[in-house]
Amino acid sequence: MEWNREILLEKAGDIKRAQLSLREIISHGQDQFLDNPYLRGAAKYELIVAIEAAISICNHINAKIGSRTPETYSDCFLLLVQNKIIKPDLGNRLSDMARFRNLLVHVYSKVDDERVYQIIMENLPDLEELIKEVGLD
């Protein structure tokens, strides 16, 4: 079955827009980020948007491949690795990002804001890499 490129491109666009916002947010520096509840809130929202879009891409591809249904959002990326759609190291990093998304959504009161900043600084390129590896760049 063929992937619905239009859906995938829409989700890739969501990731790119969220990345732009996140880069703007962290451009203020870590101290201002940690001191400003509005920057922290915006960053968490944009991270959720970006990770959700990546999960949507992942679920769409896995559904079209016809392999087993992922048990969790984090498992979705590992299934892409298993099906040789993305590289193992990227799959592991995205799987970790999906687990962090669960914290943002379900255990938001315990999210470490320094960790949010670190993820934005270190892991945004992983989302870009996903877009490239599935041919949406």
Q: For 9-21, how does the pLDDT look when each residue is reduced to its tens digit (9 = 90+)?
A: 999 999 999 999 9
Print burial letters for 112-129: b (CB count within 10 Å at least 16), e (below 16). ebeebbebbeebbebbeb
Distances (CA, A) of 97 to 28, 31, 58, 86: 23, 23, 13, 15
- State the Cα–Cα distance between residues 76 and 94, nearest whole angstrom: 9
- Rounded Cα distance, 68 and 94, in Å: 19
Distance between CA 102 and CA 48 in Å, rounded? 9
What pLDDT shows up at residue 68?
82
Mean predicted confidence (pLDDT) in 53-57:
97
| pLDDT for residue 1 | 52
Q: What is the pLDDT of residue 110?
A: 86
Query: What are the residue ranges spanned by the domains of the chain?
Result: 5-133
Looking at CATH, the fold of the domain delimited by 5-133 is given as Four Helix Bundle (Hemerythrin (Met), subunit A) (1.20.120)
pLDDT confidence of 67, banded at 50, 70, 90? confident
Tens digits of per-residue pLDDT, 84-100? 999 999 999 999 999 99
**Distance from C-alpha of 70 to C-alpha of 43, rounded to nearest angstrom:** 27
Mean pLDDT (the chain) is 94
Are 64 and 47 a contacting pair, CB within 8 Å? no
Residue showing tokens 């470490």: 112
